[in-house]
Structure 1
Amino acid sequence: MRLHTLCFTPFVICLSALASSLWAEDTEKPELVWHDVSDWGVEGRAWTEEERFNYFDRFPAQGKETLREAVWNLSESPTGMMARFETDASEIWVRYELRSEKIALAHFPATGVSGLDLYARDGEGKWRWVQAARPYSQEVETKLLDDISPELREYAAYLPLRNPVNKLEIGVPAGTEFRGLAPRQELPIVFYGTSINHGVAASRPGMVHTAILGRHFDRPVVNLGFGGNGRMEKEVGDFLERLDAAVFVIDCLPNMGPDLVSERCVPLVNQLRKAHPDTPIVLVEDRRYANSWIRPEKDAFHDRNHAALQEAYRTLKSAGVKRLYYIEGDHLFGDDSEGTVDGSHPTDLGFWRQAEVFKPVLKKALKGR
């Protein structure tokens, strides 16, 4: 018993010290002023003048009646939305409420599914990562970072990728300068696609290729990625044609087969071209599964899917459709099979590689836009 007591005593002391440390941290919390991002607006939120059920829904309320239920449900997550602000605060807090108790998925971490990701511009005006919130419950209030050099700078907070958000506030110590930055007026890059566009399985919201490309081109982005449900649907096209975009990127093949590609690609492009005669449109092949090199049937499927999109592209070009661009899928995640978590969805490495493949094509498409 004596030995047991001696072994247990340091553990009690450690727990006591930990509790004291946590209590000290709580007592040192500064007086904060909270700012609701909906007061000045977030980028990536399209159709801003139309009624919504929730501020952070990606589609306006009308979509609940016209879109497939699965698409609508997935659109309730604020994927791709970004709140910009300026502050000279030496520490930054966030407070937000998540709608789903599914903070993480088996192959998709909580920091990506439900986290908030903070970037700032450095002295040269480049976006640099700062910190990500690690959500622990549906109600998150946490200090993102302290000991920040006290100078006025621009920040951007990416919202969670796969968990609907009811409210988001940024907190800074009382007496510091803070200004919410309204969404930029430049035409956005609009992505319509699948779970890959939706961000599965990025470690944090800023690592999706759509976000990487938004920072690279320093443009607003609208992310219309719907896990398992990006299928070139006319009903989604009905919303797309009401958007003024710098470029439309159609990246739906991972959720489609050759017959569906042949059926829907040409009509969707024609629908967008009729509404926007001069807006560039980019068609993207599906990535190959990273292990398709030892799965002949899967590899053959990708061949057929790519061939169907190539045929649609040739048909559109032959019909005189201008400003149409094409991205091949074979090298989107690289050539070493190391860019995915499950063969299908990218890791951060896969997202980065995909962005690198997109960059030269988007650079051409965005010229003069």
Structure 2
Amino acid sequence: MRYIDAKDLNLIGKITPTPQLYHRVDTARYRDFTPNQNILVTEAAGLALCFKTNSSRISVHTYFHSMGNGANMTGINQYGYDLYIKKNKEWLYAASKAKLEKDNLLPLISNMDTSQKECLLYLPAFSVIDSIKIGIDEQADIESLPNPFRHRIIIFGSSFTHGTSANRSGMSYPLMVERDTGLYIMNLGVSGNSKLQQSFARVLADADADVFIFDAFSNPSAKEIEERFDSFVKTIRASHPTTPLIFMQTIYREERNFDKRADRYEQDKMDMAEKIVKKAMQYDKNIYFINPKNYTGDDHVTSTDGIHPSALGYYRWAKTIEPLLLTILKKYHIE
């Protein structure tokens, strides 16, 4: 096989340019993050390589700076790759593998035919990457593909948006919506740290977006929501005065079923979120609130750990919000 540096291929999913190619935010420019947040924003969640090849095999050679090790996640999600190949105009699952080595040579798929194939390769969601090379047959061709998705939609959120407990890196709910709709969704999920902070509002204000979607109420307390929401919106509005801001209600966490303290805490958050967004909607016609009865179903079978959905839960989440988002986006001719 021969190996091509992935820097020569099209990398999608980043909201702003960064000196380190596989980081999502430039931490040298934005210095207000905590040490943990610096790691989270340099993890590769939501990033993908777009390329075309006639190779019968694809391998990935990665140098990891750090690798995820969460107990409630698969290795494939944290430090593995998730490959989709276009077939009959749809992105079809092709392969997903992982290996727990920092200098990581990973055979991803083999025994394919030698026709030209359009590939979408999602990077590991919970690892920081120094370099990637793509391996193909010695005589095969490979070339960069243009971004296959349209418009520019940024989603900022919690571990749910980051993809915690999804089985693969391409199975977070934003990326399922992306493949289903063809809309370009850039993921700034920051596990446990989406709390309406000014540090993140400034990053979002500097980004180019047609729409912002927020999973903004999963991490902060009711008090933090009340105190921070208006200033968070104000900072973004200074750069994006009329851009649609779509806020999602947080999900029902299954830990609430018997834990009375968790139930009260979560309900207070949900009540405050609804109150404060509906108030904002009275003076800003481009703010929206998505509040389905239940994102993940009412059969109580979709939780991994009492907090995070399983792959089934994220699939239901994506399918629940898709029509709601499309209805809003249609008003802005974003289709």
Interval containing the TM-score (normalised by the shorter chain)? over 0.9
Q: Aligned-pair distance for 1:42? A: 0.7
The letter of the residue matching 1:110 is: G
**Residue among 26, 31, 35 paired with 1:69:** 35
Aligned residue for 1:38, secondary structure, equals: helix
In the alignment, which of 127, 147, 151 is matched to residue 91 of structure 2? Answer: 127
Alignment of 1:1-369 (within 5 A): 32-48=1-17, 51-52=18-19, 54-100=20-66, 102-122=67-87, 124-183=88-147, 186-319=150-283, 321-328=284-291, 330-367=293-330, 368-369=333-334
Find the residue that maps to 1:244 and give its secondary structure. Answer: coil
* Alpha-carbon shift at residue 179 of structure 1 (Å): 0.6
8 Å contact from structure 1 (residues 115, 160) kept in 2: yes
Q: TM-score, normalised by structure 2?
A: 0.93
Instruction: Look at both structures and tell me which one has the larger radius of gyration over its CA atoms.
Output: 1
**Pairwise CA distance, 1:63:** 4.2
Shift of 1:161: 0.6
Other structure's SS at 1:169 match? strand
Shift in Å, 1:33:
2.2
The answer (yes or no) to whether the contact 1:95–1:141 under 8 Å persists in 2 is yes
CA distance in 2, matches of 1:365, 1:35: 41
Residues 121 and 184 from structure 1, CA distance in 2 versus in 1: closer, same or farther, beyond 3 angstroms?
closer
Native 8 Å contact 1:43 1:184 kept in 2: no
- Check whether the contact 1:99–1:138 (CA below 8 A) recurs between aligned residues: yes
Amino acid paired to 2:33: L
Verify the 8 A CA contact 1:43 1:221 in the aligned structure 2.
no
Q: What SS does structure 2 have at the residue aligned with 1:72? A: helix
Aligned residues: 332
Q: Is the 8 A contact 1:64 1:72 kept in 2?
A: no
SS in structure 1 opposite 2:77? helix
Which residues of structure 2 form unaligned runs of 5+?
none
SS at match of 2:161: helix
Aligned to 1:28: none
TM-aligned CA deviation for residue 38 of structure 1: 1.5
How far does residue 286 in structure 1 lie from its aligned partner after superposition?
A: 1.6
Contact 1:288 1:299 survives alignment (8 Å): no
Per-residue CA deviation, residues 55-101 of structure 1 (Å, 9 max, x unaligned), is 2111114345232332222111111000000011111111112222x
In 2, are the aligned partners of 1:283 and 1:327 still within 8 Å (CA)? yes
Q: Distance in 1 between matches of 2:70 and 2:292?
A: 26
SS of the residue corresponding to residue 174 of structure 2 reads helix
More helix by share: 1
Range 356-365 or range 340-349, more displaced: 356-365
SS at match of 1:141: strand
Tell me, in whole angstroms, the C-alpha distance in 2 between the residues paired with 1:365 and 1:38. Answer: 36
What letter matches 2:165 in structure 1?
Answer: A
* CA contact 1:288–1:329 (8 Å) conserved in 2: no
Please state how far the C-alpha of 1:35 moved relative to its aligned partner.
Answer: 1.7
- Cα distance in 2 for partners of 1:284, 1:245 equals 18
More strand by share: 2
C-alpha displacement at 1:298, in angstroms?
2.1
Cα distance between partner residues in 1 of 2:250 and 2:42: 25
The Cα shift of 1:355 comes to: 0.6
Q: Percent identity?
A: 23
* CA distance in structure 2 between the aligned counterparts of 1:338 and 1:142, rounded to whole angstroms: 33
